[in-house]
Structure 1
Amino acid sequence: MVLNAGNLNRRIQIQRTTQTPDGQGGFEDDWSDLGAPIFARRRDVSDSERMMAGRWDNKLVTRFVIRATASGRSITRFDRIVHEGVVYEIDGIKEVPDTRAFLEITAYARDVP
């Protein structure tokens, strides 16, 4: 399938954490939205693909593709994605081969309804 902006048919929210002192010598994570929601393509990784990669666990692994804008390139694996009420932890980010126009974010969710 050819990847173009028309394939980006989902809206995701990137969130970034700041740490604030908890008053007991530790820190609490305080998550806040990083900019406005952005368009993305979503593809869940199949069970057979996960087994071949040796990652059989109770997580939903998903690949999101977004435009490679300046704000998109600022996303790190310490950020997270919220999509349709589900929180995804970012596992990796890479450029989609042969174009520099898109980024693929591999993420996983632990608690999926």
Structure 2
Amino acid sequence: MVLNAGNLDRRVQFRRFILVDDGFGKVEEWSDHGTPVAAAKRDVSDAERWSADQVQASITTRFTVRWSSFTADLDPKDRLTCEGREYDITGIKETPDRRRRMLELTCSARADQ
């Protein structure tokens, strides 16, 4: 798939894990990181598994975003939100052209969210 600006038809918001002092100690919290960016979205697989007598469905999605100093700073500890669904980032790589034009983020989310 050749990417151009027309393919970046979604807006995604990144979220970063921070520790916040609530007066009693440090509390884990996710907060928006940066401003929303344009992205292309492609679902690549879905799966169901049994765990503790529950069926959990998950979906794996690839998002492609423009390379920038902001997106290059992302890592798998961050999360991504798109269209109301929150995704864990499982991998980040440059697209095959290797010219710092695009980054591909492999993400997973629960399908029942």
Is 1:11 aligned to 2:4, yes or no? no
The structure that is helix-richer by fraction is: 1
Distance in 2, matches of 1:61 and 1:83, equals 13
Aligned to 2:84: 85
Confirm or deny: 8 A CA contact 2:8 2:40 kept in the other structure. yes
Distance in 2, matches of 1:38 and 1:29, equals 25
Q: Which runs of 5+ in 1 are unaligned?
A: 51-56
The structure that is strand-richer by fraction is: 2
Q: Which runs of 5+ in 2 are unaligned?
A: 48-55
Distance in 1, matches of 2:7 and 2:95, equals 14
Deviation at 1:4, TM superposition (A): 1.6
Aligned to 1:45: 44
Give the TM-score normalised by structure 1: 0.81
Deviation at 1:21, TM superposition (A): 5.3
Aligned-residue identity in percent: 46
Deviation at 1:112, TM superposition (A): 3.0
Aligned to 1:102: 102
**Which string of whole-angstrom CA distances, capped at 9 and with x for unpartnered residues, describes residues 68-87 of structure 1?**
01101011100000111111
Q: The residue matched to 2:107 in structure 1 has which SS? A: strand
Give the TM-score normalised by structure 2: 0.81
**Given the superposition, is the C-alpha separation of residues 96 and 32 from structure 1 closer, same or farther in structure 2, using an over 3 Å criterion?**
same
Distance in 2, matches of 1:91 and 1:110, equals 13
